[in-house]
Amino acid sequence: MADTLTGRTAGTTGGPVATGASGGRRPADPVKRPSAPRQAGIYLGLVAASLFAVFPLLWGLSTSLKPESTVLSTPVRWIPETLTLENYRVVLFDSQIPLNLLSSVLVSVTTVGVTLLIAVPAAYSAARFRFRGKAGLLFFILMTSMVPGIAILVPLYYLAVRFGLYDTYLVMIIIYSAWQVPTIVWILRGFFESIPVDIEEAGRVDGTSAFGAFFRLVLPLAKPGLGAAAIITFVYVWNDYLIASTFVSDPDLRLISVGLYTYLTQYGTVWGQLTAAVMVTLLPMVIAFVLFERRLVAGLSAGASKG
């Protein structure tokens, strides 16, 4: 009896235990951690990848703070001897970069709104309802996003001119939204599938309509997925050059991706002003990523696990 009590006491106070093949109890296997050399290799690889990504930005920042006469001087100095904000003054007050930034913000934000307005109900329907041909339809929607943009550029250009949409914001918003909807539908579909159906059923029992349950219960829980979709769409429009340069020729309507090329002339490149404009262009993207980084990771993780 005493041995039995002693054995029980040891089992309850000695930490996690597991049952062996013979019926006895043995300590559970501890969680294996990477060895010290492996951890050092992982951290070293992460640091190297970070430096590889950050180095061009640091070089651009250094160049934007140099006088134009010292940009190409040798030997190269990563820390300028003379710091100047003249390049930023010219970019912000004596160029069309601010107007290009405003155009990019307008087109990007509008495209995000149109894309979500179309993709959210489509993704919710794909996640909740069953109908004949659903798998084939979803595959066809995804397949449309795999068509290279250059392959349909000429037909799109013809249609834009034919319907009087050339040289307008509207043509870019329509094309960008059409190209982003398939990808966003698949991302949000996986996220909606990760939300339990029981939540909607409970709302229906309490007297909420189907639309009410969707707007009041599902959408608030889907905020991380919506944030991830919004950032993906925003970044795509902000960085695109093909559509922005093909369907707009008016300098006042150019997006920032096209406006940056004004510093690349036949007489050479104005490196100081170009890098200053790039730094100004990156600022909205950095702010957006810092504000929505958690939602982006959560939304992509849910979409990847269920999509």
Domains and CATH numbers, the chain: 36-84 (no CATH), 95-306 (1.10.3720.10)
How confident is residue 29, by pLDDT bands cut at 50, 70 and 90?
low
Provide the pLDDT for residue 11.
45
Question: What are the tokens at 70?
Answer: 């010292």
The CA-atom distances, in angstroms, between 47 and each of 33, 55, 121 are 20, 12, 41
Provide the pLDDT for residue 244.
92
Provide the pLDDT for residue 13.
45
Higher local confidence (pLDDT), 293 or 211: 211
- What is the per-residue pLDDT across 236-276, written as a single tens digit (0 to 9) for each? 999 999 999 999 988 889 999 998 888 877 667 888 888 99
Beta carbons of 272 and 82 less than 8 angstroms apart: no
Question: What are the tokens at 136?
Answer: 């084939």
How confident is residue 143, by pLDDT bands cut at 50, 70 and 90?
confident
- What is the per-residue pLDDT across 149-171, written as a single tens digit (0 to 9) for each? 888 899 999 999 999 999 999 99
Determine the Cα–Cα distance for residues 246 and 297; give it in Å rounded to an integer: 33
Provide the pLDDT for residue 75.
77
Determine the Cα–Cα distance for residues 75 and 279; give it in Å rounded to an integer: 24
Question: What are the tokens at 121?
Answer: 């109900």
Other beta carbons within 10 Å of 268: 9
Beta carbons of 169 and 103 less than 8 angstroms apart: yes
Other beta carbons within 10 Å of 213: 18
User: What string of H, E and C letters represents the secondary structure of 242-296?
Assistant: HHHHHCCCCHHHCCHHHHHHHHEECCEECHHHHHHHHHHHHHHHHHHHHHHHHHH
Short-list 234, 285, 278, CA closest to 256? 278
The residues near 216 (Cβ < 8 Å, ≥ 6 apart) are 203, 208
- Region 110-120 average pLDDT: 95
- Across 49-58, b (16+ Cβ under 10 Å) vs e yields eeeeeeeeee
Per-residue pLDDT for 118 more than 70? yes
Determine the Cα–Cα distance for residues 234 and 223; give it in Å rounded to an integer: 16
- What is the per-residue pLDDT across 99-108, written as a single tens digit (0 to 9) for each? 999 999 999 9
Residues present in the chain in total:
307
Provide the pLDDT for residue 224.
83
Determine the Cα–Cα distance for residues 19 and 67; give it in Å rounded to an integer: 73
